[in-house]
Amino acid sequence: MTPLVHRVVDRHVESDEVVTLAIAARDAGIDPPEPGQFNMLWSFGVGEAPISLAGIEGDVLLHSIRRVGAVTNTLCDLQVGDELGLRGPYGTGWSCNDLGSGDAVVVAGGLGLVPVRPLIDSLVDSGERRVVLLVGARTPEGLLYADDMDRWADSGVDVQTTVDVGTEGWRGNVGLVTMLVERAEFDASDTIAYVCGPEVMMRFAAVALVDRGVAAPSIELSLERNMHCAVGHCGHCQIGPHFVCKDGPVISWDRSEPLLRVRSL
C-alpha cells in the first residue's frame, strides 16, 4: 500500500487534456502489469489517482492521464526527471491469453482507448487473431494515439474511427461508435469483444455487439468507479457485489448488464 518512488523518463502531450508519462522505478519497481490493469499514481503532497496502464516498454510504464482534478493536473504537469509515487498493479484486466484464434473486436470511446492500447499491442504481437479496432471520440482532436493507429493499421488491424462532431478538414466518419459495430467485418460467432469508454457508450456498444451475435460472456467492459485504495478496503468503487478495483475494472457483459441497468447503482 506504500507507493514506490518512480521517475518520469519521457513525457508526451497527446492533446489539451491528455498527457502520456513514461515512468520508470527509481529503486524497486512493481510486478509487470497486465493489459487492462491500473496503477495508483501519487503526486507528492496532493494525492493519488487510479490510472490505466497505457503500455509497457521494458521496465518503463506508460500512463496517459487526463486533466480532470487536482491530482491529475499535477501529474500531467510533471516533467522529465520529476519523481512521483506508484503502487500496483491492481485489478482484473482483459482476458487476452489462450483464447484461441477467434476475432478480437476492440471498441473504444475517447480516453477509453488508453486501457486497450496494451491489449492491442499484445494481440498484434501474437498475430493469432484478426483484430478490429473501432474508435469513437467527441471531436477529431479527441482521437488519441494517431501514430499507434497508423502502426496498428500497418500491422493488419482493421482500424475504423468516428467522431461525434466533425471539424473543418475532417473527412472521416461522423456518428456514434455503435454505427461502426453494426458494419464492421468480424465473425460474431467466434469473437471476443473488448469495450472501454463512457458508461453510456459501453452499454450501447455492448447491445450492438449482442445484436451482431456476440455472446454476452465474450463481451468485456472496463468499468469506471471512484477508487481510493485499489484493494477493496475503502468501499467507494462498489457496484452491486463487485469491488471494481479488484473484481474489475474488466467485468463481462453478462455480469455487468444487470447492474448497469439499475439507475444510480
Partner 1 sequence: MDPHARLSGHRVLSLSGFEALINSLVEEGRRVLGPVATDGVITYSDVTSVADLPKGLRDQQAPGSYTLESSDTSLFGFASTAASWKPFLMPEPTLLIRASRTTDKTITIEQPEPEAPPTVFLGVRSCDLAAMGVLDDAVGDSAGRHNGVFDPTYSARRREAFVIAVACAKPSATCFCGSMSTGPTPTAGYDLVVHEICKAERHEFVIAAGSTEGDGVLDGIDSRAATTDDLSAIDAIHHEAAASMTRGIDPADPSLAASVPEATLWNDIAKQCLSCGNCTMVCPTCFCSTTFDTTDLTGTTSERWRSWDSCFTNDFTAIHGGAVRHTTASRYRQWLLHKVDRWHEQFGSSGCVGCGRCITWCPPGIDITDEVKKLAAVAREEG
Q: Does 175 bind partner 1 (CB under 8 A)?
A: no
For residues 216 and 261, the answer to whether their CB atoms sit within 8 Å is: no
How far apart are CB 250 and partner 1 at their closest, in Å?
A: 17
Among 19, 36, 41, 48, binds partner 1 (CB under 8 A): 48
Among 15, 82, 179, 212, binds partner 1 (CB under 8 A): 82
Q: Does 59 bind partner 1 (CB under 8 A)?
A: no
How far apart are CB 2 and partner 1 at their closest, in Å?
A: 4
* C-alpha grid cell, residue 232: 477493496
Among 119, 243, 251, 252, binds partner 1 (CB under 8 A): 243
Q: Does 68 bind partner 1 (CB under 8 A)?
A: yes
212 vs 246, which CB is nearer to partner 1? 246
For residues 230 and 87, the answer to whether their CB atoms sit within 8 Å is: yes
How far apart are CB 220 and partner 1 at their closest, in Å?
A: 20
Q: Does 235 bind partner 1 (CB under 8 A)?
A: yes
For residues 24 and 83, the answer to whether their CB atoms sit within 8 Å is: no
Q: Report how many residues bind partner 1 under the rule CB under 8 A.
A: 39
Q: Does 5 bind partner 1 (CB under 8 A)?
A: yes
For residues 212 and 179, the answer to whether their CB atoms sit within 8 Å is: no
Determine which helix (DSSP H) or strand (DSSP E) holds 22, and give its type and residue range: strand 18-25
Q: Does 238 bind partner 1 (CB under 8 A)?
A: yes
Residue 40 and residue 65: Cα distance in Å, rounded? 12
Nearest to 8 by CA among 85, 99, 68: 85
For residues 157 and 185, the answer to whether their CB atoms sit within 8 Å is: no
How far apart are CB 227 and partner 1 at their closest, in Å?
A: 9
Distances from the Cα of 73 to the Cα of 4, 17, 112, 131, 132, angstroms: 20, 9, 19, 34, 33
* 167: alpha, beta or left? (left if phi > 0; alpha if psi -120 to 50): beta
Sign, CA dihedral 35-245-193-62, equals negative
How far apart are CB 82 and partner 1 at their closest, in Å?
A: 6
Q: Does 28 bind partner 1 (CB under 8 A)?
A: no
* R_g (Cα) of the chain, nearest Å: 18
Q: Does 29 bind partner 1 (CB under 8 A)?
A: no
Q: Which stretch in 76-84, 99-107, 132-140, 180-188 sits in contact with partner 1 by CB under 8 A?
A: 76-84
110 vs 214, which CB is nearer to partner 1? 110
Note the residues at the interface with partner 1 (CB under 8 A).
1-5, 42, 44-48, 66, 68, 81-85, 198, 224-226, 228-229, 231-236, 238, 240-241, 243, 246, 262-265
